[in-house]
Amino acid sequence: MPYQGINDGLYLVKQPSAKGIWHYGLFDVGNVLHHPEVDGLHPIVLHQTPPHLKVDWLCNTGAWQIIAVVHDIPGAVARIRTAWQDPYYDLFENNCEHFANYVTYGKKYSSQLQAAGTIAVVLTIFVWDMRKNT
């Protein structure tokens, strides 16, 4: 049963956080994950947030932007089961973007963390160069 014009399925989603970065998750419409406590009429969001992986009703989490459809549902289900084996949040290895990309694409990565690392390297080089020239 579609939810507000969105077909049943699993979606990669994001929303702005209070910290000025994107928060990522998975949006399950129609209970395609077969969660035992979900009725299929009310979507859920799976997201990695401190201190651990959570399942929340969509209506309790605010507005989300759909950025991709998860096409490999059986693979996603297997990866979610794997993620539940280590559900704890870790900024550098198991943050919300790592989790959502792992379930969606099978690979943990965080473009936001990579960008922050690049900025840190550039700033370090800049400061080092400034100190060297003074």
Instruction: Write the pLDDT tens digit of every residue in 32-71.
Output: 999 999 998 999 999 999 999 999 999 999 999 999 999 9
Q: Which of 35, 36, 27 is nearest to 8 (CA)?
A: 27
CB-based contacts of 47: which residues, under 8 Å, 6+ apart? 23, 24, 25, 26, 53, 54, 56, 61, 96, 99, 100
pTM reported for the whole predicted model? 0.82
Residue 21 has which token pair? 């970065």
Q: Which of 16, 73, 24, 18 is nearest to 53 (CA)?
A: 24
Domain residue limits, the chain? 9-132
Which regions in the chain score pLDDT beneath 70? 1-2, 112-131, 134
Bridge partners, 11 (sequence order): 27, 69
Contact by Cβ (8 Å): 6, 28: no
